[in-house]
Amino acid sequence: MSNVEKMLPVAGIRLATIAAGIKNNGLADLLVISIDEPANCAATFTQNAFCAAPVILAKNNLSQNSPRALLINSGNANAGTGDTGMQNAQQSCSWLAQKLSCTAGQILPFSTGVIGQQLPMDKMQAGISQITQALAEDNWLPAAEAIMTTDTVTKTISRRIVIQGETVTINGIAKGSGMICPNMATMLSFIATDANVESSFLQQCLSEAVADSFNAITVDGDTSTNDACVLIATAKAANQQLMATVEDASVFVQALHEVCQHLAQAIVRDAEGATKFVTVTVKQALSKNEARNVAYTVAHSPLVKTALFASDANWGRILAAVGRADIKQLDISGVNLYLDDVCIVSKGGVDSAYTEEQGQAVMSKKEISITIELSRGNENVSIWTSDLSHDYVRINAEYRT
């Protein structure tokens, strides 16, 4: 799967974008995704305690209503904005609800951009007053552009699968390239399908897919205030309503996992200043949590990430990261370490056949796999990360200037 030049329409979903002037570059920065009835909606949100006003409001609205639309702005996070920020999020939803003839509680708001600044409400009102006129099924690519901040490319995917003999479409868009870490990272993703999926099963499917995709990536170890992933099922396809016990439910589950992993990996590939795409796999751990702990300790290490940027086969940095991970009674004599298929460490020490030239050849690649075997159990985990470059520092140093 790869980014596409054309996104398939999803029956029951219409989208529109506008340049409201929230961003300084004159590009589209406001997006509306309207949802025809009936539809089910599931979502996961940031676990940051300082979550943004739109996150609080979206969670509350989703718990009480069947959404009729999503309202997304880029260029301003509406986070750290207190009571005024919440009032502005509510007012924005009210303005859109008036245009769509629904209640404000049926609007889910999302924001991404600079933290600590109030939304420019005059621009929000003007943009919302015009945007609904442009709602159309074929606006997926403009939608992917409108949610970008420091992203350099759009992140999109469009798939068709067959469930119970019926053709089903799944579309997804995402944004994110920095402040990326588990617990939803600093990203937004909006996924829609015309499949008929029961509400609780839809949430289960999304939560499981997010665990193995958006919550399996890291760029810099920072978790944002605004991230969210939304999955809409419009029930416009003619399949029998999907539940865990229904035939072909696994086809949908697998496709959703693939869509989420594609978008999550696209975020890492577009990581701020990144030159490398890195898969860190931990095998033979006692538990999934233990495997993730080791993988993220390696992936978050500034010394490992800078060695990756330098294409330096300094494998001692990886070994040191494994050693400081929070593992009870790690027997280092059971640890094996590989760069791609090159064994560097065997039974806790440098492999007798390893040469610096072999390691250097792998580290010079654009895509690298780091595999760590713990010899403690049967659990395996893979996560995706990037290197840490000069440009990452520059991009984030200049973010507000």
| Greatest distance between any 2 Cα atoms in the chain | 72
Task: Count Cβ atoms within 10 A of the Cβ of residue 8 and give its class: 0-12 exposed, 13-18 middle, 19 or more buried.
Answer: middle
At 22 the three-state DSSP class reads coil
| Least confident piece of the model among 231-235, 311-315, 372-376 | 311-315
The answer to whether 369 and 340 have CB atoms below 8 angstroms apart is yes
Instruction: Find the length of the chain.
Output: 401
Q: How confident is the model at residue 178 (pLDDT cuts 50, 70, 90)?
A: low
Percent of the chain with pLDDT over 90: 80
Residue, of 106 and 302, whose pLDDT is higher:
106
pLDDT value at residue 222: 56
pLDDT value at residue 179: 55
Question: Is 156 tagged catalytic?
Answer: no
Q: State residue 266 phi and psi, 5-degree precision.
A: -65, -35
Percent of the chain with pLDDT over 70: 94
pLDDT value at residue 175: 92
The answer to whether 177 and 268 have CB atoms below 8 angstroms apart is no
Residue, of 98 and 6, whose pLDDT is higher:
98
What's the mean pLDDT in 172-192? 75
Question: How do residues 378-394 score in pLDDT, each as one tens digit?
Answer: 999 999 998 887 776 77
Distance of alpha carbon 307 from alpha carbon 108, whole angstroms = 42
Q: Are strands 336-339 and 367-373 parallel, antiparallel or unpaired?
A: antiparallel
Residue recorded with tokens 């490992």: 304
End-to-end CA distance of the chain: 36
Task: Mention every residue, 6+ apart, whose C-beta is less than 8 A from residue 247.
Answer: 164
Distance of alpha carbon 262 from alpha carbon 265, whole angstroms = 5
Question: How do residues 337-364 score in pLDDT, each as one tens digit?
Answer: 999 999 999 999 999 999 999 999 999 9
Using alpha carbons, select from 396, 372, 395 the residue that is nearest to residue 383: 372
Structure tokens at 85: 């920020």
Q: Find the catalytic residue in 186, 193, 234, 279.
A: 186
Question: How do residues 240-258 score in pLDDT, each as one tens digit?
Answer: 999 999 989 999 999 999 9
Distances (CA, A) of 54 to 84, 138, 203, 229, 356: 12, 26, 20, 13, 51
Distance of alpha carbon 56 from alpha carbon 110, whole angstroms = 10
Task: Count Cβ atoms within 10 A of the Cβ of residue 19 and give its class: 0-12 exposed, 13-18 middle, 19 or more buried.
Answer: middle
Q: How confident is the model at residue 401 (pLDDT cuts 50, 70, 90)?
A: low
What's the mean pLDDT in 46-59? 89
How far is C-alpha 71 from the chain's CA centre?
A: 18
Residue 30 has pLDDT above 50, yes or no: yes
pLDDT value at residue 247: 87
Distance of alpha carbon 17 from alpha carbon 145, whole angstroms = 9
At 111 the three-state DSSP class reads strand
pLDDT value at residue 397: 73
pTM of the model: 0.89
Using alpha carbons, select from 187, 122, 142 the residue that is nearest to residue 31: 142
Question: What strands, in cross-sheet order, belong to the sheet with 367-373?
Answer: 217-218, 379-386, 277-285, 367-373, 336-339, 342-346, 349-350
* DSSP code for 243: -
Q: How confident is the model at residue 192 (pLDDT cuts 50, 70, 90)?
A: very high
Q: How confident is the model at residue 261 (pLDDT cuts 50, 70, 90)?
A: very high
User: Average pLDDT over the chain, rounded to whole?
Assistant: 92
pLDDT value at residue 180: 52
Residue 400 has pLDDT above 80, yes or no: no
The answer to whether 22 and 30 have CB atoms below 8 angstroms apart is yes
pLDDT value at residue 270: 85
Go through the domains of the chain in sequence order and give each one's CATH number.
13-269 (3.60.70.12), 277-397 (3.10.20.340)
Residue, of 140 and 273, whose pLDDT is higher:
140
Question: What strands, in cross-sheet order, belong to the sheet with 166-175?
Answer: 40-45, 228-233, 188-193, 166-175, 155-163
What's the mean pLDDT in 89-111? 98
pLDDT value at residue 3: 45
Structure tokens at 286: 């006692």
Residue, of 154 and 392, whose pLDDT is higher:
154
Residue 1 has pLDDT above 50, yes or no: no
pLDDT value at residue 399: 58
pLDDT value at residue 227: 82
Mean pLDDT is highest, among 88-102, 211-225, 268-282, for 88-102
Distance of alpha carbon 298 from alpha carbon 292, whole angstroms = 10
At 138 the three-state DSSP class reads coil
Measure the CA dihedral 6/242/260/26, to 10°: 50
Paired with 343 in beta bridges are 338
Residue 395 has pLDDT above 70, yes or no: no
Question: How do residues 196-237 score in pLDDT, each as one tens digit?
Answer: 999 999 999 999 999 999 988 887 655 667 889 999 999 999
pLDDT value at residue 238: 94
Residue, of 54 and 177, whose pLDDT is higher:
54
Using alpha carbons, select from 140, 141, 128 the residue that is nearest to residue 100: 128
